[in-house]
A and B are shown apart, each in its own frame.
Chain A
Amino acid sequence: MLAKRIIPCLDVRDGRVVKGVQFRNHEDVGDIVELAARYRDEGADELVFYDITASTDDRTVGTDWIRRVSRELDIPFCVAGGIDGVAVAGERLAAGADKISVNSPALLRPTLIDELQQAFGRQCIVAGIDTFEQDGAYRVKSHTGDPGRTRETGRDTLDWVREVQDRGAGEIVLNCMNRDGVRKGYDIAQLKAVRGICDVPLIASGGAGATDHFEAVFKQADVDGALAASVFHKRIIAIPDLKRDLAEAGVEMRR
């Protein structure tokens, strides 16, 4: 049986790993390669690196740290941040990233996903979606790396999920912004709604604070992976303990 994935997310800014609450007030949490190696050793199934300044500063992530991470890791990793074309994506993949994730640039120009899919295959194209619940509706936001520049896209989240799948995304990371960094649990209702229309792997993001939250999102929303940052960075949850507890609770885990 396919194992459910535990995925630490490392927000990268200026070559360091940072973490904020609801995308604000970023604090330094360590060196990229050191943290990547730590999570590898603890049994993380995959890592995601988001260059959170990339889209907002209109620049793209460098490839040097991707090569350094690739050299260290014997688990897969995904790179996100400001990837707005085939050439930039190709550099990231050539440097050793297994997958690339697109978010704001795809909202500005949705055909980006088609182009990436045609060039590299859907298996390495991830659509990152920042979704916000407002008055009972799920809406997509862009440029969330900087609160001052965050934009409403006017897009309905479920519509955008359907569109990115149709265009060739091979995986979706759904980041529920209301829950980001506050450790009150994943947005099960929203993830269930998305799961219902999503036939590619779906990764939950935003809200992990306790082992129970992971168990709930795997069992109730049937997501393929759960992404978290602060609980791992701050050592509130140890990955070996989490995976053991989830396995005991009947969630298939990589051993």
Chain B
Amino acid sequence: MSVLIVDTKCANLASVGFAFDRLGITSTISDDPDRIAAADRVLIPGVGAAPYAMERIDAAGLTDTLRALTQPVLGICLGMQLLFDDLAEGGVVTKGLGLIPGRVSALDTKDLPSPHMGWNRLTDIADDSLTAELSEGDHAYFVHSYAAPVSTHTLAMTSYGSPFSAIVRHGNVRGCQFHPERSSDAGAAILKAFAAL
């Protein structure tokens, strides 16, 4: 099974590809709508600011393609946030891909430093093929200031000042707020499970 990594023009593509290499899973990077639509598995990476990222995805002509995906999809970090209906970031509301209901907004870290950066625990892990190899309390590497709320789509949560969705699922579409490619064993388990869905 191979994974197509979407070249969202706003992500560290090399790291994600290397992570699949380490697992012996074939991955390709592409921004071609036909190849993305035909892929077995589609991974949507992303870092940085949401308005800029959606602009880049629009400019690359990928928005409609990504909205129409029916195969297993995994968004990571900003790529996960972009799966939602909309994103309230930087004083504006950006329309997301609309693949998962809900709104991404600033994480209320209370009196803790922001961004939420470092290794934090995954808790309340729900049964799912993606999370089958995870254990309650496993650590994953996060770096973000915005987050999706805990909802019926939450597969695992994490708390930093406030609780938020660490892993989400809506039908064929899943997402991780953390970086699986930099999350040691827990991250490898997620990427491996995704390729095997």
Contacts and interface: CB of A to CB of B under 8 A. Distances in A.
B118 A2 contact: yes
A199 to B, nearest CB: 6
Contacts of B120: 1-3
B118 A74 contact: no
Given A76-B141, A123-B145, A70 B118 contact: no
B88 to A, nearest CB: 16
B115 interface: yes
Q: Is the interface of B mostly helix, strand, loop or mixed?
A: mixed
Nearest to B121: A1
Interface string A74-95: 1110000000000000000111
A22 to B, nearest CB: 29
Contact of B115 (A74, A94, A98, A201): A201
Contact of B14 (A96, A121, A170, A199): A96
Interface stretch (B17-25, B61-69, B91-99): B17-25
A233 to B, nearest CB: 22
A202 interface: yes
Interface stretch (B36-44, B148-156, B168-176, B182-190): B182-190
Interface residues of B, number: 37
B15 A70 contact: yes
A225 B141 CA distance: 14
A75 B141 contact: yes
Nearest to A73: B182
Contacts of B118: 2-5, 45-46, 201, 224-225
A21 B114 CA distance: 33
Interface of A: 1-5, 45-46, 67, 70-71, 73-76, 93-96, 98, 120-124, 170-171, 198-202, 224-225, 254-255
Please name the 8 residue pairs, one residue from A and one from B, whose CB atoms are nearest each other, closest first.
A121-B48, A254-B119, A3-B119, A254-B139, A76-B182, A96-B14, A71-B18, A123-B143
7 contacts: A2-B160, A74-B187, A75-B141, A95-B14, A170-B117, A170-B143, A171-B115
